[in-house]
Amino acid sequence: MTLIAIFTIALIYFLYSTQSQRFENTVFTAPMLFLVIGFLLSKYCLNLIPIHTHVDVIHTIAEITLILVLFIDASHIRLDALLANKSLPARLLLIGMTLTVILGAVIAYYLFPQIGIWQAMLLAAILAPTDAALGQSVVSNAKVPLRIRQTLNVESGLNDGFALPLVLITAFLASMAASSDQNWVKFVALQLILGPVVGIVTGIIGAKVLTIAVKRKWVTEIGIGITSLTIAVCAFAGAELVHGNGFIAAFIAGLCFGNNFKQESKFFYEFAETQSHLLTTFTFLMFGAVLLPSVMPLINAIHLIYAILSLTVVRMLPVSFCLLGSGLKPVTHLFMGWFGPRGLASVLFALLILQNSDVPNKEQILIVTFLTVALSVVLHGITAAPLANRYADKIAAHKASEEAVKTAPLPYEQFKQQVK
Single-letter amino acid code for the residue at 125? A
Give yes or no for a contact between 287 and 38, defined as CB atoms under 8 angstroms apart: yes
CB atoms within 10 A of CB 49: 27
Residue 199: in which H helix or E strand, if any?
helix 184-215
Candidates 79, 57, 62, 100; CA nearest to 255 is 79
Candidates 30, 28, 358, 1; CA nearest to 178 is: 358
Long-range contacts of 262-269 (CB under 8 A, 24+ apart): 262/211, 263/210, 263/211, 263/214, 263/215, 263/224, 265/214, 265/221, 265/224, 265/225, 267/221, 267/222, 267/224, 267/225, 268/221, 268/224, 268/225, 268/228, 269/76
Domain ranges within the chain, ordered by starting residue: 54-282+301-398
Give the pLDDT score at 417.
47
What does the pLDDT read at residue 291? Answer: 87
Task: Report the 3 state secondary structure along 279-319.
Answer: HHHHHHHHHHHHHHHHHHHHCCHHHHHHHHHHHCHHHHHHH
Series of mean pLDDT values for 10-residue runs along the chain (420 residues): 78 85 74 88 76 68 82 76 70 92 96 90 94 78 84 82 84 70 65 87 93 87 82 92 87 89 70 78 88 90 96 95 90 92 88 75 91 94 88 82 52 45
Composition of the chain by helix, strand, coil, percent to 5? 80, 0, 20
* Contacting residues for 11 by C-beta, under 8 A, at least 6 apart: none
Domain 54-282+301-398 CATH (choose: 1.10.260.40, 2.60.120.200, 2.30.30.100, 1.20.1530.20):
1.20.1530.20
| Three-class SS state of 46 | coil
Helix (H) or strand (E) holding 54: none
Cα–Cα distance, 116 to 177 (Å, whole number): 9
pLDDT at position 237 is 93
Contacts 24+ apart (CB under 8 A), 101-104: 101/125, 101/128, 101/166, 103/313, 103/314, 103/317, 103/318, 104/128, 104/310, 104/314
The alpha helices in 312-361, defined as continuous H runs, are: 313-322, 330-338, 344-354
3-state secondary structure of 414: helix
Q: CA 32, CA 353: separation in Å to the nearest integer?
A: 24
- Write out 124-166 in H/E/C secondary structure: HHHCCCCCHHHHHHHHCCCCCCHHHHHHHHHHHHHHHHHHHHH
Are 188 and 172 in contact by the 8 Å Cβ rule? The answer is yes
Max CA separation in the chain (angstroms): 91
pTM of the shown model: 0.84
Q: How far is CA 80 from CA 83, 146, 260, 326, in A?
A: 5, 18, 12, 21
* Cα dihedral sign, 359-133-42-55: negative
The confidence score (pLDDT) of residue 165 equals 84
